[in-house]
């Protein structure tokens, strides 16, 4: 459920359902997908959220891939944590956890107008036994931290006992650290001091086995008495950090988690950072609904971010977007790496792209004039005049196959050239993956001629010339972070871009299906029914006329299907992974990369009179997606984030 599907399709539907049902359906869906064979691969492919080594952090001795964590209230039953672990987060919180279950059947209220979720109880949970079972078999490798709290209204002695027993039990289950949440259940600051000192004593006595402790601080807790208490606790060295709560309590006792909490969160971070020792870790997440929110919290002094309501309103791509913003903040002050030599790798792919463009133009000229080359005629043992007399539409039909192939070749060449010049040159991981995957499919499609046995010597020569360029271009190329400014706002331009991205993702999948279908038909039955209607003949009649005609046509059809699949894979990876605000080159690449293929396919059908609606409907549908995608992506790709922000205002 990437942002391009969540923002456009799923969020509007889910927000019409009761919040508890909506949450259950969403978690069940992505959790089930993550447990299916190949499900993790699907999640990684659609989201491409693998974190960069630049994001690695060591917070209180706990190693994390990223400073972004998942709040325990997002998935309180642990249904989808295996999936969330692949969303670009670095640690997972469990809880709140109490020794006994606390249940509620009251509705959770989702208010999208002010982006706020209102929980009737902030301590609803399944009890420590269930959490211990879950943490012992997490299904992922991320650090697990437990937010533990005494039962409501428990006296200090009972609270100390409950917290101590949960620390022992959950440590054995694999908890990497603990958030101690006592302020909601305490009737006075003295009670809180008594409980926390008791936990410190227990931790000191079991220093060989107890994990780092973090004090969980409600967002609305007064600062001055809190600072005084912290000065007492941190001197004991058993407390590693502070967790700032995500929500605000209403007069009705509801726990409100949403965008409005950001201002109070920023204020508390700044005060704590001013008053506490600098090595004390601070985690916070109240009001983080877009990357800019997270950046502001980190700049104010937070060491890590906990995501909760932001995932509901921005979508599951929020961790990735925050990670990209953090990386950009880190690298923008560094000098841009020197571009590698033209001959190191990217230049070879540029030459390959140019070769594809030239080859496509030459083959288009041939297909629009003589249609067949001398070795084609030698293979079938016929002249052009004889072919015309055999079937007056046959040469037109073969021309239409070859012109559509030519247009696709030109499109591939433009895509390859641009991805090499702007992506491979700058060591962008996704561009290398797009070129590698598409190129393997393209070269492998050469062997589709084996389906009917026609060997095309010119095709073989082109493949032999281009293959070394491809291999040289795919040499070692260490990834580099993107130096363009990244999107940090959930503004209208970004939301429209999600629709544009959806259009190109559907287009990529549709073209891939089309390529596979055409290749499959090309090496099996060769013709579809509308082809035979246009030719006014049958498969048997053509075969009786010349047994080598069908292998020649099959070669063209299978070759076009393979080229279309090669093109589709490049477009699909661009759509899934490459849409980056301000990447002007990418919009021009999509425009010029798609135009030759569409023009060739549609113009040749009109020119030869092959205008059956059902035959052309897939191409017309693809053209509609292409045009809509370009229109919707234009403001996002053509404007830098700073320029887009001015437009949004």
3-state secondary structure 131-144: HHHHHHCCCCCCCE
pTM over 0.85? The answer is yes
Does the structure show a pLDDT above 80 at 85? Answer: yes
Question: Residue 414 domain-assigned?
Answer: yes
How many angstroms separate the CA atoms of 313 and 318, rounded? 9
Question: Residue 341 domain-assigned?
Answer: no
**Is 198 in the same domain as 258?**
yes
Per-residue model confidence as pLDDT tens digits over 15-42:
999 999 999 999 999 999 988 888 888 8
CA dihedral (577, 579, 582, 587) in degrees, to 10, reads: 120
3-state secondary structure 598-619: HHHHHHHHHHHCCCCHHHHHHH
- What percent of the chain shows pLDDT beyond 70? 96
**Is 352 in the same domain as 240?**
no
43-48, long-range: CB < 8 A, 24+ apart: 43/83, 43/86, 44/86, 45/576, 46/2, 46/576, 47/2, 47/86, 47/87, 47/88, 47/316, 47/317, 47/320, 48/320, 48/430, 48/576, 48/577
For 284-300, what is the mean pLDDT?
95
Average pLDDT of the residues of the chain:
90
Per-residue model confidence as pLDDT tens digits over 482-539:
667 788 999 999 999 999 999 999 999 999 999 999 988 888 888 889 999 999 999 8
Q: In Å, what is the CA distance from 47 to each residue of 310, 327, 505, 513, 568?
A: 17, 18, 12, 21, 18
- Identify the CATH number of the domain in which residue 62 sits: 3.20.20.70
Per-residue model confidence as pLDDT tens digits over 185-226:
787 889 888 998 888 877 666 654 568 999 999 998 999 998
**Is 405 in the same domain as 463?**
yes
The kind and range of the H/E element at 524 are none
C-alpha triplet 94, 100, 101: angle, nearest 5°:
70
**Is 496 in the same domain as 592?**
yes
**Is 163 in the same domain as 311?**
yes
User: Among all chains, which residue has been given the structure tokens 């010349």?
Assistant: 546
- Contact 256/115 with Cβ under 8 angstroms? no
Structure tokens belonging to residue 77: 């039953």
Question: Residue 337 domain-assigned?
Answer: no
Question: Residue 107 domain-assigned?
Answer: yes
**Is 293 in the same domain as 356?**
no
**Is 435 in the same domain as 296?**
no
Quick one: DSSP state of residue 238?
Answer: -
Domain residue limits at 375:
346-476+488-648
How many angstroms separate the CA atoms of 290 and 176, rounded? 28
Question: Residue 302 domain-assigned?
Answer: yes
C-alpha triplet 584, 588, 590: angle, nearest 5°:
115
Does the structure show a pLDDT above 50 at 591? Answer: yes
**Is 358 in the same domain as 493?**
yes
Residue 649: per-residue pLDDT: 47
Q: In Å, what is the CA distance from 59 to each residue of 176, 212, 279, 447?
A: 11, 10, 10, 54
Per-residue model confidence as pLDDT tens digits over 608-645:
999 999 999 999 999 999 999 999 999 999 987 666 55
How many angstroms separate the CA atoms of 71 and 130, rounded? 18
Question: Residue 311 domain-assigned?
Answer: yes
Question: Residue 483 domain-assigned?
Answer: no
**Phi and psi of 544, rounded to 5°?**
-70, -35
Per-residue model confidence as pLDDT tens digits over 143-191:
999 999 999 889 999 999 999 999 999 999 999 999 999 988 787 889 8
Residue 337 CB neighbour total at 10 angstroms: 13
How many angstroms separate the CA atoms of 418 and 592, rounded? 10
Boundary (domain end) residue, out of 294, 328, 362: 328
Quick one: DSSP state of residue 488?
Answer: -
User: Among all chains, which residue has been given the structure tokens 């477009």?
Assistant: 571
Boundary (domain end) residue, out of 269, 302, 328: 328
Residue 186: per-residue pLDDT: 82
Residue 449: per-residue pLDDT: 65
Residue 232: per-residue pLDDT: 79
Residue 238: per-residue pLDDT: 76
Boundary (domain end) residue, out of 296, 328, 360: 328
- Contact 413/356 with Cβ under 8 angstroms? yes
**Is 283 in the same domain as 356?**
no
Per-residue model confidence as pLDDT tens digits over 405-464:
999 999 999 999 999 999 999 888 899 999 999 999 988 887 776 666 778 888 888 889
Q: In Å, what is the CA distance from 104 to each residue of 107, 250, 443, 606?
A: 8, 18, 59, 65
**Is 185 in the same domain as 313?**
yes
**Is 504 in the same domain as 597?**
yes
For 582-603, what is the mean pLDDT?
95
Classify residue 474 by burial, with Cβ atoms within 10 Å: 0-12, 13-18, 19+.
middle
Question: Residue 276 domain-assigned?
Answer: yes
Structure tokens belonging to residue 539: 């498969």
**Is 168 in the same domain as 76?**
yes
575 half-sphere exposure, CB direction, 13 A CA radius:
30
| Number of domains composing the chain | 2
């Amino acid at each position: 459920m990437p942002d391009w599907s969540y923002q456009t399709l799923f969020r509007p539907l889910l927000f019409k359902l009761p919040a508890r049902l909506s949450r259950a359906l969403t978690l069940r869906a992505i959790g089930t997908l993550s447990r299916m064979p190949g499900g993790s691969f699907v999640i990684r492919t659609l989201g491409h959220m693998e974190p960069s080594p630049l994001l690695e952090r060591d917070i209180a001795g706990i190693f994390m891939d990223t400073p972004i964590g998942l709040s325990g209230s997002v998935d309180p039953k642990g249904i989808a944590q295996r999936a969330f672990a692949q969303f670009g987060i670095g640690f997972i919180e469990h809880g709140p956890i109490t020794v006994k279950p606390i249940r509620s059947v009251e509705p959770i209220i989702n208010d999208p107008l002010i982006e706020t979720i209102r929980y009737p109880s902030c301590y609803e949970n399944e009890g420590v036994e269930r959490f211990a079972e879950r943490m012992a078999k997490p299904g992922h490798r991320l650090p697990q931290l437990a937010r533990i709290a005494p039962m409501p209204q428990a006296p200090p002695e009972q609270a100390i006992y409950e917290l101590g027993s949960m620390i022992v039990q959950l440590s054995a289950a694999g908890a990497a650290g603990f958030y101690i949440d006592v302020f909601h259940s305490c009737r006075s600051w003295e009670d809180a001091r008594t409980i926390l000192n008791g936990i410190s004593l227990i931790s000191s006595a079991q220093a060989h086995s107890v994990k780092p402790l973090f004090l969980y601080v409600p967002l609305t807790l007064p600062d001055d008495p809190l600072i005084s208490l912290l000065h007492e606790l941190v001197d004991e060295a058993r407390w590693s950090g502070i967790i700032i709560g995500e929500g605000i309590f209403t007069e009705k006792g509801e726990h409100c988690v949403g965008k409005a909490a950001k201002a109070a969160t920023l204020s508390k971070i700044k005060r704590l950072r001013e008053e506490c020792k600098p090595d004390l870790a601070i985690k916070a997440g109240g009001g983080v609904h877009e990357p800019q929110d997270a950046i502001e919290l980190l700049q104010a002094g937070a060491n890590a971010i906990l995501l909760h309501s932001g995932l509901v309103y921005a979508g599951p791509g929020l961790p990735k977007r925050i990670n990209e913003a953090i990386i950009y903040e880190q690298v923008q002050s560094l000098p841009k790496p020197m571009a590698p030599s033209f001959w190191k790798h990217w230049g070879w792919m540029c030459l390959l792209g140019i070769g594809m463009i030239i080859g496509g133009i030459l083959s288009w000229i041939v297909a629009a004039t003589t249609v067949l080359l001398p070795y084609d005629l030698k293979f079938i043992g016929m002249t052009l005049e004889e072919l015309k007399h055999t079937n007056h539409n046959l040469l037109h039909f073969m021309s239409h196959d070859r012109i559509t192939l030519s247009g696709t070749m030109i499109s591939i060449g433009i895509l390859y050239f641009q991805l090499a010049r702007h992506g491979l040159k700058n060591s962008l991981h996704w561009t290398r993956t797009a070129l590698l995957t598409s190129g393997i499919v393209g070269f492998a499609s050469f062997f589709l001629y084996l389906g009917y046995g026609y060997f095309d010597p010119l095709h073989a020569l082109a493949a032999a010339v281009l293959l070394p360029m491809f291999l040289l271009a795919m040499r070692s190329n260490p990834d580099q972070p993107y130096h363009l400014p990244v999107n940090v706002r959930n503004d209208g331009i970004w939301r429209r871009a999600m629709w544009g991205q959806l259009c190109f993702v559907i287009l990529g999948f549709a073209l891939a299906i089309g390529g596979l279908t055409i290749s499959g038909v090309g090496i099996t039955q060769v013709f579809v029914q509308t082809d035979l209607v246009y030719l006014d003949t049958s498969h048997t009649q053509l075969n009786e006329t010349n047994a080598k005609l069908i292998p020649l046509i099959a070669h063209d059809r299978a070759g076009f299907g393979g080229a279309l699949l090669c093109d589709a894979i490049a477009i699909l990876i661009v759509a899934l992974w490459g849409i980056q605000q301000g990447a002007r080159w990418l919009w021009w690449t999509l425009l010029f990369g798609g135009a030759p293929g569409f023009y060739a396919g549609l113009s040749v059908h009109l020119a030869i009179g092959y205008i059956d609606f059902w035959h052309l409907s897939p191409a017309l549908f693809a053209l509609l997606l292409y045009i809509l995608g370009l229109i919707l992506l234009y403001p996002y790709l053509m404007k830098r984030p700073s320029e887009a922000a001015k437009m949004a205002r």
